[in-house]
Amino acid sequence: MNQSADSLPPRAAVIINPAKGEAADVRAMMTTVSSNNGWAAPLFLETTPEDGGTSQARQALAENVDVVIAAGGDGTVRCVAAVLSGTGTALGIIPLGTGNLLARNLGLDINDPAAAAREALTGANRPIDVILATVDHARDQQLFLVMAGLGFDAAVMADTKDGLKDTVGWLAYVDAGIRKLPGRPVKATITIDAGHSTVHRLRGVTCGNCGKLQGGVELFPGARFDDGELDLMVVAPRGRLGWLGVLAGLFSRGRSKDPSVEYFHGKTAEISVATPQAFQLDGDPLGEASHLTLTVDAGALLVRQAGS
Ligand SMILES: [Mg+2]
């Protein structure tokens, strides 16, 4: 930073999802917290149904702000992070709504927006990994921060009203998977770090950057978003009883020997399925895909977190 920039008070951009109930309060709160901490009045930008934060984050970068704060749920965070990744400009998070899986994994206070706002302004920059997904050999990669799913979890998510997602949480998807058994097992080939491939008949495969769900359940035991590795969970239950094995696997934090759930980890993963399957990134259903390549971009995103 040069001297003339140093002499000006720092300024944050706040990208708000106005559909979240608490959004109306965020502007006033953010203005107060900025002023109390010696920051300039923030630049407020709202997401729209068509643009969940991408162009807003680009505008924030163009205005040379010191931190870009996503005030919304995991979808808003993902869109903003995709623009900030690799730029050296940090992401702050004010969690709104009730999902907020990245914020939970970061240990941010998800029930106190003012505390989250202070942390976004005054916290330290922490580098975390992001995962880049290439879907069906497309030219553009899509970034996610928490998890991507191909198969049953994405299918259930696509069917699930936001209300259920917000109130019951991600475990509702597993429960719905057990009850609804959408689709059939599909033949899939999985290759980790361009090595030996394994063939599965699976119902779904989920890739995680970090491990925690709501309610303290760890989907990927021991997964960290700063270890340069992605984690894969292959769900291949045999019949209805097999879903009980899946649940047992989830609740045993990876200690279950049940073959219904298998874990892999590495820096890259390639997944191809014989027939297109629903897929989701950080809980947003994004259609169907039959081929995914997943690559860790280690430490690419700076997030603001209270100093330790
Ligand atoms: Mg990791």
Assess contact for 135 and 291: CB atoms under 8 A.
Answer: yes
| 257-282 core/surface letters (b: 16 or more CB in 10 A; e: else) | eeebbbebbbbbbbbbbeeebbbbbb
How many whole angstroms from 223 Cα to the centroid of ligand 1? 5
Looking from the CA of 81 toward its CB, the CA atoms found within 13 Å total 32
Please tell me what DSSP assigns to residue 214. G
249's tokens: 């696997």
pLDDT score recorded for residue 164: 40
Predicted confidence band at 256 (pLDDT cuts at 50, 70, 90)? low
Distance 48 CA to ligand 1 centre (A): 31
Overall size of the chain counted in residues: 308
Residue 146: is its pLDDT beyond 80?
yes
Give me the mean pLDDT over the 44-67 stretch.
Answer: 97
Q: What is the DSSP letter of 221?
A: T
Q: What is the pLDDT of residues 279-297, one digit of tens each?
A: 988 888 889 999 999 999 9
Give the mean pLDDT of 121-145: 96
64 CA → ligand 1 middle, Å: 30
Distance between Cα 224 and ligand 1 center (Å): 4
Q: How far is the CA of 22 from the centre of ligand 1 (A)?
A: 31
Distance CA 81, CA 69 (A): 10
Identify the pLDDT of residue 229: 95
Closest by alpha carbon to 67, among 50, 43, 49? 43
DSSP 212: B
Task: State the Cα–Cα distance between residues 173 and 159, nearest whole angstrom.
Answer: 10
* Better-predicted residue by pLDDT, 272 or 149: 272
Residue 136 has pLDDT above 90, yes or no: yes
**Separation of alpha carbons 157 and 160, rounded Å:** 5
Helix, coil or strand: residue 261: strand
pLDDT at 210: 84
The pLDDT confidence band at residue 167, using thresholds 50, 70 and 90, is very low
Distance 106 CA to ligand 1 centre (A): 13
Q: If you average pLDDT over residues 236-265, what whole number do you get?
A: 70
Structure-model confidence comparison of residues 260 and 46, the more confident one: 46
**Residue 207 Cα to ligand 1 middle (Å):** 10
Q: Which one-letter DSSP state was computed for residue 197?
A: E
Question: Any idea what the Cα angle at residue 144 is, between residues 141 and 149, rounded to 5°?
Answer: 95
Confidence (pTM): 0.87
Task: Choose between 135 and 105: higher pLDDT.
Answer: 135
C-alpha to C-alpha distances, 88 to 59, 74, 127, 128, 177, nearest whole angstrom:
15, 21, 9, 12, 40
- What amino acid is encoded at 280 in this protein? Q
**Separation of CA 229 and ligand 1 centre (Å):** 4
Average pLDDT over residues 46-57: 96
Range scoring the smallest mean pLDDT among 4-18, 152-166, 194-208: 152-166
Buried b (16+ CB within 10 A) or exposed e, 133-156: bbbeeeeeebbbbbbbbbbbbbbb
In the reported structure, the alpha carbon of residue 300 is separated from the centroid of ligand 1 by a whole-number distance in angstroms of 13
Average pLDDT over residues 52-78: 96
Q: Encode 67-103: b = buried (16+ Cβ within 10 Å), e = exposed.
A: bbbbbbbbbbbbbbbbbbbeeebbbbbbbbbebbbbb
81-124 pLDDT, tens digit per residue, is 999 999 999 999 999 876 788 888 888 888 899 999 999 999 99
What domains, with CATH codes, occur in the chain?
Answer: 3-122 (3.40.50.10330), 131-300 (2.60.200.40)
pLDDT band at residue 59, thresholds of 50, 70 and 90? Answer: very high
Q: What is the mean pLDDT of residues 174-188?
A: 66
Q: What is the pLDDT of residue 303?
A: 97
pLDDT of residue 166: 44
Distance from the alpha carbon of residue 200 to the mean position of ligand 1, in angstroms = 23
Over residues 211-242, the pLDDT tens digits come to 776 556 677 778 889 999 999 988 887 766 66
Q: Which of 21-30, 59-68, 212-221, 250-259 has the lowest mean pLDDT?
A: 250-259
pLDDT of residue 7: 77
User: What is the distance in A from the centroid of ligand 1 to the CA of 89?
Assistant: 21
* Ligand 1 centre distance from Cα of residue 15 (Å): 27
